Amino acid sequence: MFELTGKKAIITGGASGIGRATAVLLAQSGAAVAIVDLDETGGEEVVRQIVEASGKAMFIRADVSQAADCQNAVRETVVAWGGVDILFNNAGIVQRATVVELSEEDWDRVMAVNVKSMFLMSKYVIPLMEKGGGGAIINNASGWGLTGGARAAVYCASKGAVVNLTRAMAIDHGSKSIRVNCIAPGDTDTSMLRNEAKQLGEPVEAFLKDSAIRPLGRIGQPEEVATAVLYLASEAASFVTGAVLAVDGGGLAD
């Protein structure tokens, strides 16, 4: 039920972290994967990894906060693979600050990458999915899209928007057999998590230790989050839409 042979997927922010792990896993499951990112070096490395394992992948450089880049990424995917069956809206950034500390530019930048990009990519992909008879969209939210966090005002606002955008899209497009769900990861071992420590002026190891305070007693690995995306993209989740799947070691339960 997790077989994706013949499916075509787009993954934004696929050059590193959760996006990278998901690209590799979807390719291993049979999907042809388009990795969309600004990081050309990282993106091409992921493509090489997938192709060397006999998978199908390509890299498309794009700023997903820009409409023209999103439209071009979708167009290039269609030219290469013939359509889009799966969209993982994963690209995201974090800015740790209160509303008083935030600049207007930082607010706009985080909202553009974390929310506007999902609107734009979905806008151009959904008509293709409708023509193709359906598809699956997975948005990357966060546990902080469901609860608040200290010195993370714009990040919490953006991820809360992702959660409700997901629900609204599921309602709008369910009649066309397009399922829209989101994942809500907890702290995961990525460069973005380490960047948070630097933004807050905290020692990285101490920050990671504090992040592990949850029922499972550790932070997550990108590969563990990727399995949740695979589930939501596959026929195993054929009756799941509008859902928010927490992948957080029990952080929201604590």
The pTM of the whole model exceeds 0.85: yes
Model pLDDT, residue 12: 98
pLDDT (tens digit per residue) in 111-139: 999 999 999 999 999 999 999 999 999 99
Model pLDDT, residue 43: 98
Model pLDDT, residue 166: 99
To the query of whether residue 155 is one of the catalytic residues in this protein, the response is: yes
User: What architecture (CATH level 2) is domain 8-247?
Assistant: 3-Layer(aba) Sandwich (3.40)
**Looking at residues 175-192, what average pLDDT do you find?**
98
**Looking at residues 9-36, what average pLDDT do you find?**
98
User: Residue 106's pLDDT band (boundaries 50, 70, 90)?
Assistant: very high
Q: C-alpha dihedral over 52, 191, 7, 27, to 10 degrees?
A: 20
| Distance of alpha carbon 240 from the chain centroid | 18
Q: Which residue of the set 155, 159, 178, 188 is catalytic?
A: 155
Model pLDDT, residue 113: 98
Model pLDDT, residue 171: 98
Instruction: List the domain boundaries for the chain.
Output: 8-247
Name the average pLDDT for the chain: 98
The answer to whether 30 and 4 have CB atoms below 8 angstroms apart is: yes
What DSSP letter does each residue of 47-83 carry, written as one string? HHHHHHTT-EEEEEE--TTSHHHHHHHHHHHHHHHSS
pLDDT (tens digit per residue) in 242-254: 999 999 999 999 8
User: Residue 19's pLDDT band (boundaries 50, 70, 90)?
Assistant: very high
Model pLDDT, residue 46: 98
Model pLDDT, residue 213: 97
Model pLDDT, residue 111: 98
pLDDT (tens digit per residue) in 62-77: 999 999 999 999 999 9
Residue 184, phi then psi, degrees to nearest 5: -130, 80
Model pLDDT, residue 96: 98
**Looking at residues 188-205, what average pLDDT do you find?**
96
User: Residue 91's pLDDT band (boundaries 50, 70, 90)?
Assistant: very high
